[in-house]
Every structure is written in structure tokens, then in C-alpha cells.
Amino acid sequence: MRGAVGFGVFAQGDQAPRVGFRIGHGVLDLAAHGLGGVFDEPALNGFLALGRASWEDTLVRVAELVDGGAELVPLAAAMTDLPFTVADYVDFYSSLEHATNLGRLFRPDAEPLLPNWRHLPVGYHGRAGTVVVSGTPIVRPCGQRKAPADDAPTFGASRRLDIELELAFVVGVGSRLGEPVPASAFRDHVFGVTLVNDWSARDIQAWEYVPLGPFLGKSFATSIGAWITPLALLEDRFVPAPVQEPDPHEYLVAAGDWGLDIELEVELSGAVVSRTNSRGLYWTMPQQLAHATVNGASIATGDLFASGTISGADPGSEGSLIELTWNGERAVELADGGSRTFLEDGDEVVLRGRAGDIELAEVRGTILPARC
Amino acid sequence: MRGAVGFGVFAQGDQAPRVGFRIGHGVLDLAAHGLGGVFDEPALNGFLALGRASWEDTLVRVAELVDGGAELVPLAAAMTDLPFTVADYVDFYSSLEHATNLGRLFRPDAEPLLPNWRHLPVGYHGRAGTVVVSGTPIVRPCGQRKAPADDAPTFGASRRLDIELELAFVVGVGSRLGEPVPASAFRDHVFGVTLVNDWSARDIQAWEYVPLGPFLGKSFATSIGAWITPLALLEDRFVPAPVQEPDPHEYLVAAGDWGLDIELEVELSGAVVSRTNSRGLYWTMPQQLAHATVNGASIATGDLFASGTISGADPGSEGSLIELTWNGERAVELADGGSRTFLEDGDEVVLRGRAGDIELAEVRGTILPARC
């Protein structure tokens, strides 16, 4: 297999949306090849709920069909939709470099990394209902903003609209309330991954976020890929994660290698402005899942758990503009000779991920003008 | 009508769960009285999505049936379930007294009310998937805890398990992404209200909440009533809300009276430990909705927007134990001669609300021992 691969929802012409498997520039129509039931539905949720054995059986059948020369629907002829109904959306803060950078920018007079950060994967809930599929235009949000130099808030369109390059996992099999999901059970519950652009209005966020965390600075839209890549297709991409100091508590210990070696890039209006890799994330996906449920919180089919912004240590490897431009102090260069600190109307952002032979589905979005 | 009234989901014996209307100690079986379709479903969502005209037509039909002597199912013979599938759950922080108290307790060395608080209704997203119906037992959560006197976190069962007395509104009619819902459109979108107990593990919360807000300290469970009271039955309970200073921005101006006069009480293992009223909330429901969508975030059928803890100015009117006991310094007395600072295993908490002739459905929960 080559190019982007994953399960998603597609439709041709006026056909009802249904589940397909994307391979590069084509889509395998599963229902048309005798796989009915959950594949006739307009969302992956039914398939996700079936569990690991069914996911892997389906991949075997997909490989047989492709190897047998099954006809693919040209991707260009397919409309895509949100691949699954999002249950809860959680966003972590798992990159040491990102947390350190944001600490320096948001709290310049204090220690950048807060005391809890190395003890647990800090995270919060985002708005599930505004998760949108790649290609959905993003309307610049309005709200109460306060730039660092302002004394008081003003109302209007965000002037500091940003991106966040993230990787997320998608829950297939849920759990029962009151029963934590151990890190060792990660693969029994989690189906696959997608890139995420957690669009962020920094001026709205800076004013609102104390003490209860980000709200309107993030909730206007979060973009995910149209095709979810199963973990089973990424087996050879698991590598050792960074060493953790201090040792995490027992419930956060995950045997095996859980770093995920995916090369990532951010393209802004034609110019690649950041290159990084998700293997550098300090907190791993099984740790995130174990932490999010250690209090007995249940998970459900369609839950989306994102990594938080993925930033590396080197210049040009940061996953947000506020870091790449150091709070707007140094612009990034675009392909047309222009430059950006934060996003302008009409800008198009594309997130890409490559894992050896295969790619994750891109996450694309264009900024539309504010409506205030 | 007398006693608790509202729409919910019930079942008798091995019948399939369906929509009913509770009146005091009885339930009107809507499907059995010729109202089919959305009333045959095991959640209110279909009915909620129909909109205000249908909600009001249904109430007229309910009144006709009740006045005509329709037989009611005894409440004691009915099993109840979560009344609707929760889409997104947002929790505000709308009580001036609560925000001031928590500021004093969590940040003793700083101004208790943060600079943004009087400019916007501060809020955050909670975990929709762990919203449970009244009566569901609450397992004491485990996690990383840090008491104020501790130098480092420890792992174990929460020792500072608390309640939060809240009032929430339930969205019926959704909106489109990118289009704010003005305060004036509140009644076209919002179906009704329920009491909420936003269970909180203060020791987990205190350690984790900076900088992204509450996460595991809240996400283990949030209890709501089994019956949602339509706003149309509370018309005579809308009263002037507190005067706001400074004047809120134009998008937060809601013509009319939006304080909601509901007498509230918290019973802890048989003793009423708090009495307050939701009319004292600084930020009103239309302001909360207008704020949550001013950035273009869409709302959906089944969204739950809670007020945040409702505390009054007088001793004994606080909506949480951390306030009632001032961080555990002064215990509250129980009916059996015992006392409490935070919740103990086996404790039962009941939230009640009375709006003149009618009541909101109670929210009840009993603490089960931790499983760590």
C-alpha cells in the first residue's frame, strides 16, 4: 500500500454516504464488495465498536480485495464527510517543548513548566460538536480579546489566529463507568489515529483561560482527517518514547515501545513552515488513556484523544505559529514572498504525516473572514 | 400540577424505555396515549429537536390528557434512565459568591476574582460521556492528589470529595457552525432545565488544573435529574437578575428578566446543609448561550450547559462543601449527630429545587468506596 490509507465515509454523486477504505488516490467501496452492515452506515462508529478482531479481519479482507484487483472509486469523484460521530474530545499537552514554549510566552515571569507537568499528562476537554472534517472552511472567530499590550479587553475578530499540529487516537471499544482502562489495554480499545488541527485564537484564549482553561479560544473548530489510519497499519512505526524523569506512577507505566514515528509537516499557503515528528512526544498514547480513565471515567466509541501541539526542540520544528514566530516577533516566510505571524484571511493550512510507506490523511483548512 | 414535573425516559418491567411526562408521583405514558414517533424513543433527543412550537403543543396535549383523567404509571413502578443523550457538556462559573470563595481558597495570596470574571461568563467543557442520571451510585475516584499541605502528589482515593449544586439548561434546537446564537434567540433553542451535581475531587483538581482547567477532578461523574422541566412551565419564575457592573458587552445583553427564581437545597445524609436560590446567579442563561457561541461554535440537540456552583452570600447558602466547611476547617452537622467536611463512603446527597407550585426532579447519588 502507498499513499494515505485509512477508513472513512464517502459518497459518490447522490448515493448515501457509507464507509470506505482509502488507498492513495482511490477508495475501496466496502459495501459494494459484499461487506455490508456497519459499512453501509454514514459513520465509522458501528465498525469501531466491533473491536480489534473485527478490525483486523476487515483489514485482511481489504488486502485480499485490493490484491485481487478490486476497482477503486477515484478519490477525486468522492465526497468525504466527518468519518465518525465524535463522542468526547480530549486534548492533552504532551510535548515537553510545546509546554515549555507556551509557559514562557503566557507566563513570562514564572517557571515555564508547571509542577504537575512531569507527573501526569495534563489535558482538558474540548468541544466535540465542532470537530470538522478536513476541507471544512474555518470562519475567523470573534470574541473578547486581549493582546499582551492591552489594558482591557475589546470585542472583535481574532487578530492572533493560530494552528496546532496534533496527532489523535480514536476509541473503538468503550469502557464501563468506574473501571479504569489500564495502559496495557490500549490496543483493545483504540482503533486508529488521525492528524488534528486544533485551531486556536490566542488573543481570545489569553483573556479567558484563567482559571478554567481554554474555551472559546478553541471551541470554534477543530479539524481532523477524513480517513482514520488503523494502528494495525502502523505496527512497524512504534519506537521507544523519550525517557521520563521522574519515573511515572505505576498506572502510567506502559510496557513496550509507544513512541510513534510519524514525520509531520505544516504547510501554510504553499510553504512548509514546520517539520517535526510525533516520536518526540513526552507522554505516550497509552499513558494518556490510562490517565484519562484512572478516576473511573468511562470512554466511548468515537472518543477523540489528541496529543496537544507537537513541537520539537529545533527551530522550525514547532507545531504552532505562536511558537514558530515567538509570539509574532519573527515572521515565517511564505512561498509567494509574503510572510506571516498569525493567520490571515484566505490562508490555507495543510497538515501532513508520513509513516514510512504510508501517509496519514492530510488535514486541510482555509480561513474565511470573520462575521463581526 | 404539583410536585416534580418534566419529560424523561422510563420503562415498566421489561418494556422498552420510552418518553414519559412526570407529574408528582406518576408518569404519563405518552406513546400509550397516542403520541408516537419521537415519544417511542429511549431518549428525549428526537423530541428536543422538534422545536418550541412542538414542545408547547405537546404540553397542551399533556394538560388535556391529565385534565381528562388519564391514568398515570406510578413513579415507584417505573425505571428511569438518562433522559437524553448528552452531546457536549459545558460548565460555567456564574455565581459571583462561588467564584470569590473559590478564588480565596485556591489562590489565597491573590485577588479572589480574576480580571476576566465580570466581563464574560467563564466556562469550560466537561465530559459528556460521564453524565449520569439521578440515582446512579458514584464511585469515589482515584488519582494523583495533592493536599494544600503536601509537597508532592500521592496516588490514591480522593480524600476531598465534594459536591457542586448547579442548574443546567438543555439545548433542543441546534445551530450552524460559524453562526452565533444571540441571547434573544435563547427560547427558540433551549428546551428546559435540570438540577446538576457536578461531583468534584478537590485534591485531584487542585493538583491538575493549572493551566488547562479541571479534568479528572470532575470527569468521573456528573449527575442530572431524570426529568427535564420545560422552560414553558417556569414562565412565572423569571425575575430580574443581579445588576452587572461593568455593563456587559452588547452581545451579552439580554432583554427581559432572566434570573430564575428556584429555591434550592442540598441534603447530605438526611440533613439539609445548604439553602440557596438560582436567582442570585450573576450571569444568566441567555448570556451563557450567547457567550458560548459568539465565536461561531455551533450547538446541538442534547447539549448541556450548567451554571457552575450556586452559592449565596449568607452562611449556609453555599453550593459546595469546600465553601460550606471553608476548606474543611468547620464541619457541617448531620442528622445523626455526625459531621462532615468532605464526603464519606456511604453518604447520600440529594439536590432539590422548588419553583412555586412545581419542583424540579431531584438529583440523588450515594458514594461507593474507591477501587484503588
Contact B211 A207 (CB under 8 A): no
Cα–Cα distance, B324 to B268 (Å, whole number): 12
- Segments of chain B assigned to CATH 2.30.30.230: 4-80
Contact B178 A153 (CB under 8 A): no
**pLDDT score for B29:** 96
**pLDDT score for B277:** 98
**pLDDT score for A36:** 81
According to CATH, what is the number of the domain A89-368? 3.90.850.10
- Segments of chain A assigned to CATH 3.90.850.10: 89-368
Band of pLDDT at residue A372, cut at 50, 70 and 90: very high
Place of cell 477524513: A226
**B156 contacts in chain A (CB < 8 Å):** none
Give the percent of chain A with pLDDT over 70.
99
| CB proximity under 8 Å: A 287-306 to B | 291-292, 294-300, 303
Q: What tens digit of pLDDT does each residue of A327-360 get?
A: 999 999 998 999 999 999 999 999 999 999 999 9
Q: What tens digit of pLDDT does each residue of A189-203 get?
A: 999 999 999 999 999
Contact A294 B216 (CB under 8 A): yes
**pLDDT score for A175:** 98
End-to-end CA distance of chain B: 46
**B88 contacts in chain A (CB < 8 Å):** 127-129
A32 phi-psi bin (left φ>0, alpha ψ -120 to 50, beta other): alpha
Mark the ranges of chain B whose per-residue pLDDT is less than 50: none
User: b vs e for A157-196, b when ≥16 Cβ sit within 10 Å of the residue's Cβ?
Assistant: bbbbbbbbbbbbbbbbbbbebbebbbbebbeebbbbbbbb
**pLDDT score for B146:** 84
At A278, which amino acid appears? S
Instruction: Using alpha carbons only, give the angle B270, B274, B275 rounded to the nearest 5 degrees.
Output: 115
Q: What is the pTM of this model?
A: 0.98
Three-state secondary structure call for residue A291 = helix
Q: Does B198 touch chain A (CB under 8 A)?
A: no
Q: What tens digit of pLDDT does each residue of B161-219 get?
A: 999 999 999 999 999 999 999 999 999 999 999 999 999 999 999 999 999 999 999 99
**pLDDT score for B304:** 99
Cα–Cα distance, B171 to B186 (Å, whole number): 9
- Residues in CB range of A87: below 8 A, 6 or more apart: A128, A171, A300, A301, A302, A303, A304, B128, B129
Contact A291 B216 (CB under 8 A): yes
Q: Which fold has domain B4-80?
A: SH3 type barrels. (2.30.30)
**pLDDT score for B113:** 95
**pLDDT score for B151:** 81
Q: What tens digit of pLDDT does each residue of A54-108 get?
A: 999 999 999 999 999 999 999 999 999 999 999 999 999 999 999 999 999 988 8
pLDDT beyond 70 at A22:
yes
| CB proximity under 8 Å: B 70-89 to A | 87-88
Read off the pLDDT of each residue in A138-153 and give the average, rounded to a whole number: 90
Q: What tens digit of pLDDT does each residue of B271-308 get?
A: 999 999 999 999 999 999 999 999 999 999 999 999 99
Cα–Cα distance, A254 to B26 (Å, whole number): 52
